[in-house]
Amino acid sequence: MRFVSFLAAALAFSGVAHATFQCDDKKVLKQTYVGENQDVSVEYVHCSNAIRPVHDRIAVRGLQERQTDVCGATCATNCFTPSGGGPDPNQCAVIADALLYDSQNIGALFNLDPAVNTSVITMQYQSCKTFIVNQTNSTLQYCRTDWSSLVNWLATDCQSTQNAHGGNCVASDQRWFVQVQHS
């Protein structure tokens, strides 16, 4: 498919246009399985275009010189409305646990590096899918424990009881975001 927009449908319902990104000619470069039981799929995705927020390309240009360690950075959460069709929080917990397991056994930090095609990393277990996106030209370093916490929070707090079906958390400077949705 020539043009892929991971978030277009979900964000159209939520009104959160600042997190939308384009991924042209999407290719999965590497797939592996992680976690204690090796049951969580991880994909490293390559897009032929530079990953940028669709509606805020100018704002990202000035972000290239800032710190690269974004562990503990704040982000704004958005739940996707209307309700129905969200991921199973119990299945999302398996992903969160795999991230914690890898944090203890591989290392707490990982890089989102456009130079080595790791600007988009997806994780999936049954109905739950999460991904993290680096929207800059520079390497960002993030914590597996932070991603784990966001997966658990978004999976439980962006459900039908909140009139939602998944959600995301966008960094206050829009350099990165994490999303949780139904696969």
Q: Is residue 17 part of a domain?
A: no
User: Is residue 71 one of the residues assigned to a domain?
Assistant: yes
Residue 72 located in a structural domain = yes
**5 belongs to a structural domain:** no
Residue 140: inside a domain, yes or no? yes
In a domain, 2, yes or no: no
Q: Is the pTM of this model over 0.75?
A: yes
Number of domains in the chain: 1
Residue 164 lies in a domain: yes
- pLDDT per residue of the chain (183 residues) written in tens, 0 to 9: 222 233 333 333 333 333 456 788 888 999 999 999 999 999 998 888 777 654 444 344 444 445 589 999 999 999 998 888 889 999 999 999 999 999 999 999 999 998 888 889 999 999 999 999 999 889 999 999 999 999 999 999 998 888 889 999 999 999 999 999 998
**In a domain? residue 133:** yes
SS (H, E, C) the chain: CCEECCCHHHHHHHCCHHHCECEECCEEEEEEEECCCCCEEEEEEECCCCCCECCCHHHHHCCCCCCCECCCCCEEEEECCCCCCCCCHHHHHHHHHHHHHHHHHCCCEEEECHHHCCCEEEEEECCEEEEEEECCCCCEEEEHHHHHHHHHHHHHHCCHHHCCCCEEEEECCCCEEEEEEEC
Domain range enclosing 158: 28-45+61-182
